[in-house]
Amino acid sequence: MTDKSVTLGVNGSNFNYPVLDGTVGPEVVDIRKLYAQTDMFTYDPGFTSTASCESKITYIDGEAGILLHRGYPIDQLAEQSTFMEVAYLLLHGELPKKGELDQFTYTISRHTMVHEQLATFYRGFRRDAHPMAVLCGVVGALSAFYHDSTDITDPEQRMIASHRLIAKMPTLVAMAYKYTLGQPFLYPDNSLTYTGNFLRMTFGVPAEPYVVNPIIENAMRRIFILHADHEQNASTSTVRLAGSSGANPFACIAAGIACLWGPAHGGANEAALNMLREIGDVKRIPEYIARAKDKDDPFRLMGFGHRVYKNFDPRAKVMKATADEVLAELNIKDPVLDVAKELEHIALNDEYFIEKKLYPNVDFYSGVILNAIGFPTDMFTALFALARTVGWVAQWNEMIADPDQKIGRPRQLYVGATQRDYVPCDKR
């Protein structure tokens, strides 16, 4: 807190509002008393100018293309860290010492199995159900199985629920995939890494041993780290808003999954690969660029643009390098990667995209990698949800522990009818 303030003049009276300083980033005007003092609300659809909470977890400088988790740059974490280490960092604020990491990894591995009866939930879905539809249901249903970790006033129960969610998501996502194929579910193998175990549960079968490919394992590690958290985005804000009413953590994460599904958010990775496939050939790129620029055409370049980044999404840089590595190492020649690179090149040199500061985001290249690994497109957003669960639970814990936390309750600018009398049906 500083002594800085801003003054707002309303109907001849002046009101002072304190200006708050974060450790980095823009100053924030504290308008909590605004309504009580002036009888006015602020109007900010899409929350483009509104900080909804205080947080110590993730920092983004969208103009400079910087993303830090607890102060550590995302590219350093993606290059040098493990997903378990990043999960610990997001949850607890510091990189773990060796003993802490071993204990955390052990704890997560002890929670990887799901209640046996949960498998019957899957059998209620159609085989062609979208994995995100399945996940909205089964993650919400976890609260019916793990009552002993739904008391949000107990910090220990909150941590157990967080561990359960992080540990069980790979199992639940892999089960969603297996169910679509009609293959048996595989139990977790806790001798493998978090990513190795997930790959085995997804691509292995009980009839033969599964050998984890270290190149794919490493690519998945990076993809999970790159998706682990991203400040107060739509799904994280949804988790916080759901949690602000005191809802249990499993219900809150299910709400986050529902929000993530949309094509403007996590669904963009699926939409981006579908778009690249539809373009199909570099010769057709100008046609799609023209459509993206046409105000009368709802088409947008999927995987391009971001609410916060007005520069390269730092995650996209790592993702592009990973796409190159994975395809080279697996010896795959995918024309979709050529389309993606050329599309990026053309868009980055086009006046429309330059002027609007539209750059590739994390979803532009992730689909190419996931496709090369063998995931069908409708699994892409489910993988995003798996990784983002870590960020969601970290943000949810932070919110519950915040003494300033209140139920989230935005106000509105009402533009509907004023009071009028009911007219019986035969007189309308």
CA angle 217, 219, 344 (to 5 degrees): 160
Minimum gap (Å) between residue 145 Cβ and ligand CMC? 29
Choose the catalytic residue: 363, 378, 421, 426.
363
Structure tokens at 165: 């969610």
Q: Which residue, 199 or 362, is less far from ligand CMC as judged by CB?
A: 362
Is 147 noted as a catalytic residue in this protein? no
Contacting ligand CMC (CB under 6 A), which of 257, 362, 379, 400? 362
Minimum gap (Å) between residue 138 Cβ and ligand CMC? 22
Q: Which of residues 228-247 bind ligand CMC (CB under 6 A)?
A: 230, 233
Q: Which residue, 115 or 277, is less far from ligand CMC as judged by CB?
A: 277
Minimum gap (Å) between residue 34 Cβ and ligand CMC? 25
Closest-CA residue to 360 (of 391, 324, 319): 319
Q: Which residue, 186 or 241, is less far from ligand CMC as judged by CB?
A: 241
Q: Which residue, 108 or 362, is less far from ligand CMC as judged by CB?
A: 362
Structure tokens at 80: 């040098």
Encoded one letter per residue, x for contact with ligand CMC by CB under 6 A and - for no contact, window 47-86 reads ----------------------------------------
Q: Are 254 and 385 in contact (CB under 8 A)?
A: no
Contacting ligand CMC (CB under 6 A), which of 188, 196, 256, 266? 266
Q: Which residue, 295 or 427, is less far from ligand CMC as judged by CB?
A: 295
Residues belonging to the chain = 428
Residue closest to ligand CMC (Cβ): 305
Minimum gap (Å) between residue 361 Cβ and ligand CMC? 4
Contacting ligand CMC (CB under 6 A), which of 142, 165, 169, 268? 268
């602020």: which residue's tokens?
42
Minimum gap (Å) between residue 232 Cβ and ligand CMC? 11
Q: Which residue, 177 or 304, is less far from ligand CMC as judged by CB?
A: 304
Cα-trace Rg, the chain: 23
Q: Which residue, 158 or 265, is less far from ligand CMC as judged by CB?
A: 265
Is 306 noted as a catalytic residue in this protein? yes
Minimum gap (Å) between residue 73 Cβ and ligand CMC? 18
Number of residues in contact with ligand CMC under rule CB under 6 A = 20
Contacting ligand CMC (CB under 6 A), which of 85, 270, 344, 363? 363
Choose the catalytic residue: 111, 306, 313, 378.
306
* Ordered strands of the 28-29 beta sheet: 5-10, 13-20, 28-29
Q: Which of residues 285-344 bind ligand CMC (CB under 6 A)?
A: 292, 300-307
Q: List, by residue number, the catalytic residues.
A: 306, 363
Q: Which residues bind ligand CMC (CB under 6 A)?
A: 230, 233, 264-266, 268, 292, 300-307, 356, 358, 361-363
